[in-house]
Chain A
Amino acid sequence: MKIEMKNIDKAFGAIEAVKDVSFSVSGGEVCALIGENGAGKSTLMNILGGVLPADRGEILIDGQQVNFQKPADSLNAGIAFIHQELNLINDLPIYENMFIGRELKKKGRILDLEKMIARTQEVFDQMEIDLNPKTMVRDLDTSYKQIVEISRAIMMDASIIIMDEPTTSLTDQEIERVFAMMKTLKKQNVGIVFISHKLNEVIEFCDRYSVLRNGELVAEGMVSEVNVDQLARAMVGHELRTDSLQRKAESGREVLRAENLSYNNDFKNISFSVHQGEILGVTGLLGDGRQELFQAIFGSGEIEAGELYLNDQQVEIKNTTDALQKGIGYLPRDRKENGIIKDMDIFENASIVTWPLFDNFGIIDREKQEQEFKEQVERLRIKMGAKNDPINSLSGGNQQKIVLAKWLIANPEIFILDNPTQGVDVGAKEDIYDIILELAAEGIAVVILSSEAKEIIRICDRALVMYHGVIQGELSQSEMSEHEIMRLATGASSNSVQEGAEDAKK
């Protein structure tokens, strides 16, 4: 079976997510679809999976045009989409998951368990998988869950399988297991679309590649003809750093120092320090552990081993209130889940952090809060109606500014911002950068966690790149480039970075 997507266009409002992209995959080959976050990979595959309609362009299966209205159409045509969030029910055994919605029944509507188990075993045998169909899905690790989903797709006669970043949350051992399964699939003439930004996996495992950047197809070809560096360069492009916001600022004394922090598999042996007036960037790909690390430093997660020093004094942060009182601020990612409180109005959302700091015997100092609020609204150029309007009445960018404002009012000594410009428009993004620079100029130690290499390069003085819970490398202002960051983030070691830098000089 061969699937071709021709000249696909898709826009969301004014944003063109996919521009004139053609893509194809045939049975028995593994085709990598790579690109940065927001490059349009998911949109393109959602069109193929029948989740989204294309604005323009056509999809051909073995030369015949098809029209997918809903995911079921695509599934019936033999295309299975394995999403990053797995679609299994933990409290049912494997075999019931395999047949969910299409259970085999005996006469009188009684489930035919024996037959379902036998059929599942058959598929496992065919795929050379060593799993007991009666195992509860809850007891499987993520790789096996993925294997169960793939087996389900095979059982439903899928001949093309789309895998959306299947390895991001897996350990190395688990990754091997999924790859072994993919090899078997290949032998059985199943085509695989492998969405990833782990470039070494692409090189090791895929036959062909297509690179998307800003919704456009920028490169494609045979994997055997390229290396990781070339792919990384294709992913990030060659734009010049014309609008860099980096300053040649002297950073002051050390404010925060971490020594060998570890927790579980989330982060291991993390040591670093941040200084007054410095903007430290921390980046990496999904599953790098930076969010877990900094939430733990903020008191919202656990630390198993290692020491944390604030102004050269060893501290233990018990909870977030403790962190707030010790002068640590944290702007979380995913505004909806972690940032705003929908049952409170704009003013309350902007003052929640400082209620306990400014209150008199527990009574909120409304006058002071209102005055601070007014100042922040002006400083951050927040566009809003009345201060008692619901928080949801604001645009995404302005909501983010309110979340920022609540921490600015608290005036922290160290301010950790996790994806500060996530989901905000270009104008608000620049406003937020301006504020970050102002904060550093005021002597606040700023830590920016971001998955966008561009963002890190534009505003940070120094960057740490994380990979699977460890700091893979540290880059100074002059060493930073999207290419280097991508190399470290995809697991290349520090040494080869220097080689790469030398290569670039030649």
Chain B
Amino acid sequence: MQKNNKQNSEQGFTQWFIKKWSTEPIFSTGIALIVMIILQTWSLGFDYDSFGSWFFTWTNNWINILRNNAGVGLIALGMSFVIMSAGIDLSVGSTMVAVGAALMMLIDRGPNGILINLGIEGIPAILIAILVSLAFGYFLGNLNGILITRGGIPPFVVTLATMKLYRSVTQHFMQGYNPRVPIEFLPISNFQIGRFRMMPIIYWLLIAAVLYFMSKRTTFGRQIIAVGSNERSANLSGVNVKKVKRRVYAITGLLVSFAAIIQVSRIGSMDYANAGSGYEMEAIAAAVVGGTSMSGGRGTVIGTLLGVLIIAVMNNLLNLLGVPPFLREAFKGLILIGAVLMQKKQKTV
């Protein structure tokens, strides 16, 4: 393919382009993203005093987009692994609320704070709270996985049930109580690098890099693809299908708790009834736009990152263009259908 690229004749390039476009989902998704970024840059306008101030506005806009999507972005990474294994996880939003509530109760500076009542304060308290939250998220995800593999219940049903369960139990325990999050906790998301608050973006991309490595180079990462593509073959190749599936949900739970930590440290509070609701659909949409096949076996970390970006940039673009808010979801729907139609074409080529 690259040889074709070097043939500078126009025909060679066209052929190369069509072939790439039709065989590699990331290529077409990437191009779609570039087109959107150009549109977005254009609608941001060039009417500024200097290049410096234009550049600052442009960059700041981008940092905002990325930061606002870091949480969903992390969840989408987990979701794409779940979908690659031919499953689905609807409980991510509720898991985030449950973990967020647990985290806030741990670090609460009010009379009910768990760690403060144990006499732990300051940095040690924050570290312990973070570790416990991660473990809790992993546990909730693992519970989904156990119900699916041991209980033999379809993933859709299990996670629909735990979606209800996790949020409802959280709401009951919290009863609208708002813990006081210590100020030392906030820099986790709000620490400024230069003039930009970009910590969540850094966490997101670092974790994405780790997951990229996991998906390409580790036994577990490759076994996910094998299980999602052909469960019988994988099982008869000595893959512990149940264990792989369970761990996929557990890791998604872990990623959700990262999202919860970012969320709590960004705002310092959480709306138990609404926080994270709809995240499951956002995450599924991002994974699908990024080329993850709903029937399992296909998908990549980079594709999912691009999928999150496409949806995010489109939101931003619709905002800049002044499209009425109620209509914006419609565009998301259209993008989703377009992406799946494109994937369908790629399969038949």
> Which residues of chain A have a CB within 8 Å of any CB of chain B?
295, 298, 300, 319-321, 323-324, 330, 332, 337-344, 348, 352-353, 355-356, 359, 362-364, 366, 406, 410
A319 to B74, CA, bound (A): 33
Q: When the two chains form their complex, are residues B225 and A363 in contact, meaning their CB atoms are under 8 A apart?
A: no
Chain B min CB distance to A378 (Å): 22
Q: When the two chains form their complex, are residues B219 and A343 in contact, meaning their CB atoms are under 8 A apart?
A: no
* Closest B residue by C-beta to A348: B222
Q: When the two chains form their complex, are residues A355 and B297 in contact, meaning their CB atoms are under 8 A apart?
A: no
| B193, CB-defined interface residue at 8 Å | no
B268-299 vs A, Cβ < 8 Å mask (1 yes, 0 no): 00000000000000000000000000000110
Task: Name B219's contact: one of A319, A323, A342, A356 (CB within 8 Å).
Answer: A356
B219-253 vs A, Cβ < 8 Å mask (1 yes, 0 no): 11011011011101111111110110000000000
Task: Name A344's contact: one of B226, B242, B243 (CB within 8 Å).
Answer: B226
A–B pairs, 28, beta carbons within 8 Å: A319-B240, A320-B240, A321-B240, A323-B238, A330-B236, A332-B233, A337-B232, A339-B233, A341-B230, A341-B233, A341-B237, A341-B297, A342-B230, A343-B225, A343-B297, A344-B222, A344-B225, A344-B229, A352-B222, A353-B238, A355-B219, A355-B223, A356-B219, A356-B238, A362-B220, A363-B218, A363-B219, A364-B222
> Which residues of chain B have a CB within 8 Å of any CB of chain A?
217-220, 222-223, 225-226, 228-230, 232-240, 242-243, 297-298
A363 to B218, CA, bound (A): 4
Name the A residues within 8 Å of B239 (CB-CB).
Answer: 320-321, 352
Known: A343-B225, A344-B225, A352-B239. Contact between A362 and B232, CB under 8 A? Answer: no
Name the B residues within 8 Å of A363 (CB-CB).
Answer: 217-219
Query: Other than the known A330-B236, A337-B233, A352-B239, what 16 A-B pairs have Cβ atoms closer than 8 Å?
Result: A300-B235, A319-B235, A320-B239, A337-B230, A338-B232, A341-B226, A341-B234, A341-B237, A353-B238, A356-B219, A359-B218, A359-B219, A362-B218, A362-B219, A363-B217, A364-B222
Task: Name A352's contact: one of B220, B228, B232, B237 (CB within 8 Å).
Answer: B237
Q: When the two chains form their complex, are residues A340 and B230 in contact, meaning their CB atoms are under 8 A apart?
A: yes
Q: Which of A295, A348, A362 has the most CB of B within 10 A?
A: A362
Known: A321-B238, A343-B225. Contact between A338 and B233, CB under 8 A? Answer: yes
Name the B residues within 8 Å of A338 (CB-CB).
Answer: 232-233, 236
Task: Name B229's contact: one of A332, A342, A359, A410 (CB within 8 Å).
Answer: A342
Chain B min CB distance to A69 (Å): 28
* Closest A residue by C-beta to B296: A343
A298 to B238, CA, bound (A): 9
How many interface contacts (CB-CB < 8 Å) are there between A and B?
82
A356 to B235, CA, bound (A): 13
Name the B residues within 8 Å of A300 (CB-CB).
Answer: 235-236
* Closest A residue by C-beta to B227: A341
Name the A residues within 8 Å of B234 (CB-CB).
Answer: 341, 352
B-side interface mostly: helix
Name the A residues within 8 Å of B230 (CB-CB).
Answer: 337, 340-343
Q: When the two chains form their complex, are residues A355 and B222 in contact, meaning their CB atoms are under 8 A apart?
A: yes
Name the B residues within 8 Å of A348 (CB-CB).
Answer: 222
A338 to B236, CA, bound (A): 7
Chain A min CB distance to B142 (Å): 18
Q: When the two chains form their complex, are residues B220 and A320 in contact, meaning their CB atoms are under 8 A apart?
A: no
Q: Which of B217, B225, B236 has the most CB of A within 10 A?
A: B236
Name the A residues within 8 Å of B220 (CB-CB).
Answer: 362
Name the B residues within 8 Å of A330 (CB-CB).
Answer: 236
A158 to B233, CA, bound (A): 42
Q: When the two chains form their complex, are residues A343 and B298 in contact, meaning their CB atoms are under 8 A apart?
A: yes
Chain A min CB distance to B296 (Å): 8
Chain A min CB distance to B200 (Å): 28
* Closest B residue by C-beta to A319: B240
Name the B residues within 8 Å of A295 (CB-CB).
Answer: 236
A363 to B222, CA, bound (A): 10
Name the A residues within 8 Å of B297 (CB-CB).
Answer: 341-343
Chain A min CB distance to B261 (Å): 25
Q: When the two chains form their complex, are residues B219 and A364 in contact, meaning their CB atoms are under 8 A apart?
A: yes
Q: When the two chains form their complex, are residues A353 and B233 in contact, meaning their CB atoms are under 8 A apart?
A: no
Name the B residues within 8 Å of A353 (CB-CB).
Answer: 237-238
* Closest A residue by C-beta to B297: A343
Q: When the two chains form their complex, are residues B217 and A320 in contact, meaning their CB atoms are under 8 A apart?
A: no
When A and B form their complex, which 10 residue pairs have the shortest distance between CB atoms, in order from nearest? A324-B238, A343-B297, A343-B229, A321-B240, A355-B219, A352-B237, A332-B236, A362-B218, A359-B219, A341-B230
A366 to B222, CA, bound (A): 12
A324 to B240, CA, bound (A): 10
Q: When the two chains form their complex, are residues A320 and B219 in contact, meaning their CB atoms are under 8 A apart?
A: no
A321 to B234, CA, bound (A): 10
Task: Name B218's contact: one of A298, A323, A352, A364 (CB within 8 Å).
Answer: A364
